[in-house]
Amino acid sequence: MITFFVVGGIGLVLLLVSLVVGDLLDMIDIGDGLVSGVAFGAALAIFGLAGVVTSQAGLPTWATYVVAIGIALVALVLIQLFVRRVTRNESGGYYSPVGLVGTATEATTPTGGEVRLDDVRELERRLAFSSRRIERGARVRVVADAGTRVEVEPLDQA
- Examine the pLDDT at 143 and tell me if it is beyond 90: yes
Query: Is residue 131 a contact partner of residue 143, using CB atoms and an 8 Å limit?
Result: no
Q: Which residue has the higher pLDDT, 17 or 66?
A: 66
Q: Can you say how many angstroms the Cα of residue 63 is from the centroid of all Cα atoms in its chain?
A: 30
| Closest alpha carbon to 38 in 130, 125, 124 | 124
Q: For position 15, what pLDDT does the model report?
A: 82
90 Cβ contact list (under 8 Å, min separation 6): 121, 123
* pLDDT of residue 148 exceeding 90: no
E strand or H helix that includes residue 51: helix 37-55
pLDDT, residue 16, reads 82
**pLDDT in the model for residue 101:** 92
Identify the band that residue 57 occupies on the pLDDT scale cut at 50, 70 and 90: confident
Phi-psi region of 46 (alpha: psi -120 to 50; beta: other; left: phi over 0): alpha
